[in-house]
A = this chain, B = another copy of it.
Amino acid sequence: MDDADGALTQLKAWLAQRDLPSDGRLPPERELVEILGVSRGELRKALAVLECDGELWRHVGKGTFIGSRPVEVHSSVAAIANRTNPLEVMQARLIMEPVLAREAAINATGSHLEGMQQCVRLQRTAQTWRQYENADNRLHRLVAEASGNTVLTALFDQLNAVRRAVVWGRLRDESNRPPTNHYSFAQHEALVAAICERDQKAAFKVMQNHLRTVRDNLLQHRSAAE
């Protein structure tokens, strides 16, 4: 390497002798310039080479770091909700939630069961759709949590966030209050009963039937609107 790569050579040497902090961050360009005694343009050229080689990554406002750029996994819920539709969401729920119910029948703790039963009671006495939906959300979340699987619960949370962000249009019943004989009442009670009795197959089946009912209602409303 000749003088044309002086900055690069010097930078590599400095990186080799200096052990960096745990996060792999190296000093800002304005400091490195003084440390290495090169101009900022030369330093940036050298950094660009190393970045191109995948040895470091940079970001405005953050700094320069050794290693490979961390993958952005924070695929926003809103972005997903904009590219999907209620039917896809229901399909995903039909895959996830029966399994969660089955696992909940195995692993649910006493406090989980108490919470589920309270949700069912609250739903029966709900005066508004908002109260009804609150209880519904809490119940399904409790089932997920009771499964005991951290990953599945996290996936359920993301699915749930997408569900709430998706545009459901006029699919929702807009009457003032939930009817006293709403189909979900019996299904939710059967679900909680199955989980309480540790009946895995029943918990799976009841949840599956429940979500199929919800899905079929969805399709019926849609075809009626078209």
Footprint of B on A, CB under 8 Å? 53-55, 66-68, 71-77, 80, 83-84, 88-89, 91-92, 95-96, 99, 122, 130-131, 134-135, 137-138, 141, 149-152, 154-155, 157-162
Contacts and interface: CB of A to CB of B under 8 A. Distances in A.
Given A71-B157, A73-B157, A138-B68, A55 B131 contact: yes
30 contacts: A53-B122, A54-B122, A54-B135, A54-B138, A55-B131, A67-B130, A67-B134, A68-B137, A68-B138, A73-B76, A73-B77, A73-B157, A73-B158, A74-B76, A75-B158, A80-B151, A80-B154, A83-B150, A84-B149, A88-B149, A91-B151, A91-B152, A92-B151, A95-B95, A95-B96, A95-B99, A95-B152, A96-B155, A151-B159, A155-B155
Of listed A53, A80, A92, A151, residue having the most chain B CB within 10 A: A151
Contacts of A155: 92, 96, 155, 158-159
